[in-house]
């Protein structure tokens, strides 16, 4: 069992129930999935770029990504409908908790000039999004084998629609927020 999952089930869930004054254990917010997305705009002109991005994402998450395609043509970006422009992975259950563990305790401390995550990145439904500028903050990535430094988006989807409840949940997992 993943370390953060065990921590959530044994300790954090009860603490959140008391802190948020919830009556039922099933009302306590939980993380339902984590979506990791890499947009590869230059893949429209060079198809080898998307293969490099998918191999990086596979190495980071341990799961094969789905290649995303352009929904419509945009002449200004020289983009045609149906062209591969990115890749994404949806993590659930144990893999989700293992990725979150590596993100919080290994990857985020390796970010240059890191001052904490913004509290304003919640959407109206209690989900949190993080933008990462470099994939090389993950120790699984070999710096010598990458062709380009790419950014990625990490979306943490929670079961609550209340942003304050979601913030308390993520604080309980020790996500480093700014003061």
- Note the residue count of the chain: 179
- Secondary structure class of 37 (helix, strand, coil): strand
Q: H or E segment at 62?
A: none
Structure tokens at 164: 């304050």
How far is residue 48's CA from residue 91's CA, in Å, rounded to a whole number?
A: 25
Tokens 């790419």 correspond to 150
The yes-or-no verdict on residue 94 having pLDDT over 80 is yes
Average pLDDT, the chain: 90
Question: Tell me: the pLDDT tens digits for 130-139?
Answer: 999 988 898 8
Question: Tell me: the pLDDT tens digits for 100-151?
Answer: 999 999 999 888 888 889 999 999 898 999 999 988 898 888 888 888 888 8
Assigned CATH topology for domain 3-12+28-170: 50s Ribosomal Protein L5; Chain: A, (3.30.1440)
Average pLDDT over residues 29-49: 86
How far is residue 107's CA from residue 4's CA, in Å, rounded to a whole number?
A: 16
Distances (CA, A) of 101 to 16, 83, 97, 114: 19, 34, 6, 18
How far is residue 1's CA from residue 101's CA, in Å, rounded to a whole number?
A: 12
């Amino acid at each position: 069992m993943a370390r953060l999952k065990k921590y959530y089930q044994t300790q954090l869930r009860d603490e959140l129930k008391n802190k948020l004054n919830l009556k039922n254990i099933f009302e306590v917010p939980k993380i339902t999935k984590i979506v990791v997305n890499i947009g590869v705009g230059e893949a429209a002109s060079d198809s080898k770029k998307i293969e490099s991005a998918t191999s990086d994402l596979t190495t980071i998450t341990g799961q094969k990504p789905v290649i995303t395609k352009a929904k419509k043509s945009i002449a200004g970006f020289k983009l045609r409908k149906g062209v591969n422009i990115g890749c994404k992975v949806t993590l659930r259950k144990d893999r989700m908790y293992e990725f979150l563990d590596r993100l919080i305790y290994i990857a985020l401390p390796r970010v240059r000039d890191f001052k904490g995550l913004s509290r304003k990145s919640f959407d109206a439904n209690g989900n949190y999004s993080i933008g990462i500028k470099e994939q090389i903050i993950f120790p699984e990535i070999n710096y010598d084998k990458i062709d380009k430094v790419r950014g990625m988006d990490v979306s943490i989807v929670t079961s609550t629609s209340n942003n304050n409840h979601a913030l308390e949940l993520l604080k309980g997992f020790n996500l480093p927020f700014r003061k």
